[in-house]
Amino acid sequence: MDVSSYMAELGQTARVAAGKMAAVSSAQKNQALLATAEILESRRDQLAEANQKDLAEGKAKGLEAAMLDRLELTPGRIDTMIEGLKQVAALDDPIGVINDLKYMPSGIQVGKMRVPLGVIGIIYESRPNVTVEAASLCIKSGNATILRGGSEAIHSNQAVAACIAEGLAQAGLPAGAVQVVKTTDRAAVGQLITMPEYVDVIVPRGGKGLIERISRDAKVTVIKHLDGICHVYIDADADREKAIKIALNAKTQRYGTCNTMETLLVHAAVAQEVLPELEALYAEKGVELRACQRSSEILERCVAATEDDWSTEYLAPILSVKVVDDLEQAMAHINAYGSHHTDSIVTENYTTGRRFLTGVDSSSVMINASTRFADGFEYGLGAEIGISTDKIHARGPVGLEGLTSEKYVVLGDGHIRQ
C-alpha cells in the first residue's frame, strides 16, 4: 500500500465528513454513541479475540509487561468504554451554542456561535480503549477524526473501529466521521501531521519522546503536554494539617499520572515542623526522597538531589524536596523547573495565595488543594481528551470545548456601515 496516497484519501474523506458532521443534530450524534455502546456490549467475544491476537503477538515480540498490561482489553475495560460512551451522550452538545449576543451602538447584534474545528488527528499508543474515548468526544463535538493507534494494538483497534462504524451507520452519520488508520507503517504518522489541507488539529497521547517528535514536525496545531512536573509549596502560613494531607495525596494517590507532585517545596520557617512527619508518612508508602542541602539536614533518610531531579517527572514513588526562603523563591523555582502543568500552594495567608495564583505560569494553579485534581472530570468538563500546557487554543484539561471554535454571528435588520 502507498501510505502517502492512503493517508491523503483518509484526509479527503474526513474533510467531507466534517462538513456533514457540523450540521448533524444532537439527537443523531447521541444515537451514534449509544448504538456503539450496544454494539460493543454484544461483541465482547470478538473484541477479546482480537485483543488476544495483539497480546500474543506482543508477547512473541517481547513487549514489556507494562505495555502488555496497557494493551489488554479486560472485561472491566470494555465496561468502562461502554460507560464512557453513555456519559458522553449525556453531556450537553457544545455545538451551536450562541454566547454574548449583544446590541452594538450601530444597532447590529453580535454574538459568538460554537462550531466544530473540523478534522482532528489523534495519535496514541497501546491502550485500545482510547479509540472509543477519542472517537466519542470527536463525534459529540461534531468533528471528523482520524485515529492512529499503536501498531501493537492494531487488531483490537480495528475490532473497536468496526463497532464505531456500525454505530455511525445506525445513526445515519457518515462513515468518514471516524476513521482508524489500517496500516502500521510509521510513515502514516508523519503524513497525518503534515496535511493541513485535511487535518486541523493533532492530539498526541503517549510518551514524551513521541509528543516531542510530533510537535517538532507537525504543520498544524498540536494540543499537548510533554510532561507533568507538578509542585506543592508549603508556605510559612500553611495550616499544618492541610499541608500534610495535600503533600501526601498529591504524591501518593497515584504515581503514574501527569498531575502527581514531583517536587515538594517547603518554606524554611516550617520545614522543621512538617518534614519529619511527612518523611514518616512517605516512608510508609515507600516513597524515596531526594533532598536539597537544607532539607537533607532535617530528613533522616534521603538521597541528595541533583540538578536534574528538579526537572524530572518520576512517575514513580520518588519525590524531590527543596527548602525555600520565601514565596518569590518558590515561584521562581516552579516557573523555571516546572512544566507549566499544575502547581499548588498551601497557605492561610490571603495575600500570599493571591500572589501565587497570579505569579505561577501554569495551566492549573491551586490554593489548598491537591494537584491530583487537575483533570477534566474533576473540573466538571465531563470528559477529557488530554491536558494542554500550551497557551494557544486550549490550556489545562481539554474537554469537548477544546475541540471546538467559535464564529461571530451578526443579526441586523438591513443595517449598513456608515
Tell me which stretch binds a copy of itself (CB under 8 A): 34-42, 68-76, 107-115, 178-186.
107-115
Closer residue to a copy of itself, CB minimum distance, 2 or 361? 361
Tell me which stretch binds a copy of itself (CB under 8 A): 66-74, 114-122, 129-137, 145-153.
114-122
Tell me which stretch binds a copy of itself (CB under 8 A): 3-11, 74-82, 122-130, 237-245.
237-245
The answer to the question of residue 410 lying near a copy of itself (CB under 8 A) is: yes
Q: 302 Cβ partners below 8 Å, 6+ apart?
A: 279, 288, 289, 290, 291, 295, 296, 321
For a copy of itself, which residue of 118, 121, 128, 176 counts as binding (CB under 8 A)? 118
Instruction: Decide: 304 and 291 in contact? Cβ < 8 Å.
Output: yes
Closer residue to a copy of itself, CB minimum distance, 322 or 341? 341
Site for a copy of itself, residues 336 to 355, rule: CB under 8 A:
344, 346
Instruction: Decide: 290 and 316 in contact? Cβ < 8 Å.
Output: no
The answer to the question of residue 391 lying near a copy of itself (CB under 8 A) is: yes
Site for a copy of itself, residues 318 to 337, rule: CB under 8 A:
335
What's the grid cell of residue 363? Answer: 495551566
Q: Using CA atoms, how far apart are residues 134 and 112, in angstroms rounded to an integer?
A: 26
- Residues binding a copy of itself: number (CB under 8 A): 66
Instruction: Decide: 121 and 193 in contact? Cβ < 8 Å.
Output: yes
In the bound complex, what is the minimum distance in angstroms from residue 290's beta carbon to a copy of itself? 23
Tell me which stretch binds a copy of itself (CB under 8 A): 131-139, 157-165, 170-178, 386-394.
386-394
Closer residue to a copy of itself, CB minimum distance, 131 or 249? 249
In 3D space, the residue among 376, 18, 328, 384 whose CA is nearest the CA of residue 197 turns out to be 18
Tell me which stretch binds a copy of itself (CB under 8 A): 158-166, 271-279, 291-299, 377-385.
377-385
For a copy of itself, which residue of 202, 366, 385, 398 counts as binding (CB under 8 A)? 366
Residue 359 neighbours by CB distance under 10 Å:
16
The answer to the question of residue 27 lying near a copy of itself (CB under 8 A) is: no
For a copy of itself, which residue of 3, 12, 19, 26 counts as binding (CB under 8 A)? 19
Residue 256 neighbours by CB distance under 10 Å:
9
Residue 23 neighbours by CB distance under 10 Å:
10
Q: Beta 98-103 vs 109-116: how paired, if at all? A: antiparallel
The answer to the question of residue 187 lying near a copy of itself (CB under 8 A) is: no
In the bound complex, what is the minimum distance in angstroms from residue 42's beta carbon to a copy of itself? 33
**Alpha-carbon dihedral sign for residues 367, 372, 374, 375:** negative
In the bound complex, what is the minimum distance in angstroms from residue 269's beta carbon to a copy of itself? 20
In the bound complex, what is the minimum distance in angstroms from residue 151's beta carbon to a copy of itself? 29
Q: Which residue's C-alpha cell is 508477547?
A: 59
Instruction: Decide: 387 and 363 in contact? Cβ < 8 Å.
Output: yes
The answer to the question of residue 417 lying near a copy of itself (CB under 8 A) is: yes
The answer to the question of residue 67 lying near a copy of itself (CB under 8 A) is: no
The answer to the question of residue 182 lying near a copy of itself (CB under 8 A) is: no
For a copy of itself, which residue of 38, 239, 273, 326 counts as binding (CB under 8 A)? 239
Q: Using CA atoms, how far apart are residues 327 and 226, in angstroms rounded to an integer?
A: 26
Angle at 205 between CA 198 and CA 233, to 5 degrees: 130
**What 3-state class would DSSP assign to 140?**
helix
The answer to the question of residue 402 lying near a copy of itself (CB under 8 A) is: no
The answer to the question of residue 242 lying near a copy of itself (CB under 8 A) is: yes
Closer residue to a copy of itself, CB minimum distance, 67 or 367? 367
The answer to the question of residue 315 lying near a copy of itself (CB under 8 A) is: no
Q: Using CA atoms, how far apart are residues 73 and 184, in angstroms rounded to an integer?
A: 20
Angle at 165 between CA 170 and CA 13, to 5 degrees: 110
Q: Beta 288-291 vs 261-267: how paired, if at all? A: unpaired
Residue 203 forms beta bridges with which residues? Answer: 122
Q: Using CA atoms, how far apart are residues 332 and 341, in angstroms rounded to an integer?
A: 15
Contacts to a copy of itself by CB under 8 A: 19, 22-23, 96, 102, 104, 106, 108, 110, 113, 115, 117-118, 200-201, 221, 239, 241-242, 245-246, 248-250, 253, 335, 344, 346, 357-359, 361-370, 372-374, 378-380, 391-393, 395-397, 405-417
